[in-house]
Amino acid sequence: MLTRRKFIKNTGKGLVGTMLAGSLLDVEEASALENEAQKRLSFTQDRLMYTYKDLAPYIDALTMEIHYTKHHTAYIKSVNEAIIAENVMEQTGRDLFKDVASYSDKLRNNAGGAWNHNFFWESMTPKVGTPPSKLADMIQATFGSFEQFKEQFAQAAVTHFGSGWTWLVDHKGKMEIISTSNQDNPLMGPAQKTPLLGLDVWEHAYYLKYQNRRSEYVQNWWNVVHWDKVAERLI
């Protein structure tokens, strides 16, 4: 575009009217394209509301640091590259996830990775808490008790085969526990279930501290769930 503009600037004078009109249109077109590019959807990495060591001993500082600065950063960089390469015109992440089947695996995986981890960081806190009353009531009504909910969620997380996520979602006013593979999330596809809570069960999320003991990671993770944030996500 800069090249086109330079060309127009250098050659504009003295061109016949029709040519000049064509060049001016090109300038407008280039400017419109630049505006489009500036408006283009991009993913950013949210700042952590705690330090790497604050979730210890449940999640250790080194795992947090590598997870945040290496894994998540890489998803953010790759999704933004893919958005440009595939000329994605969606205006929101939500729209992109709804139409995700139209795009490449690179875009799908990295968009999920970018969004899921922001959601995950925000779902955790070093402050001990319990579900606020409205959330607690919904959990009890759906799963029988808070303990039964935790058991069912942990069961889903521990038995999910391979890399992925386990979620508590709201689907049309009903709570469900679901798991997704790779970096897929509940917003992907036309149904778009609303994520309330998500747990990363990729080995990179726990292997340094827990090795193969995913179950122990899941049990300890309950100590750092940010229940006030989960409640805010209820529609």
Q: Report the interface residues with Mn ion, using CB under 5 A.
A: 200, 202, 205
Distance in Å, CB of 133 to Mn ion, minimum: 31
Instruction: Specify the residue, 68 or 146, whose C-beta has the smaller distance to Mn ion.
Output: 68
Distance in Å, CB of 114 to Mn ion, minimum: 11
Distance in Å, CB of 205 to Mn ion, minimum: 5
Distance in Å, CB of 68 to Mn ion, minimum: 9
Distance in Å, CB of 25 to Mn ion, minimum: 48
Instruction: Specify the residue, 46 or 95, whose C-beta has the smaller distance to Mn ion.
Output: 46
Residues 6+ apart with CB under 8 A from 198: 116, 119, 120, 123, 165, 166, 167, 168, 185
**CB of 204 closer than 8 Å to CB of 71:** yes
Instruction: Specify the residue, 40 or 71, whose C-beta has the smaller distance to Mn ion.
Output: 71
Chain CA centroid to CA 134, Å: 26
Instruction: Specify the residue, 205 or 225, whose C-beta has the smaller distance to Mn ion.
Output: 205
Instruction: Specify the residue, 99 or 216, whose C-beta has the smaller distance to Mn ion.
Output: 216
Task: Write the burial class of residue 44 (CB in 10 Å: 0-12 exposed, 13-18 middle, 19+ buried).
Answer: exposed
Q: Which residue is nearest to Mn ion (CB)?
A: 200
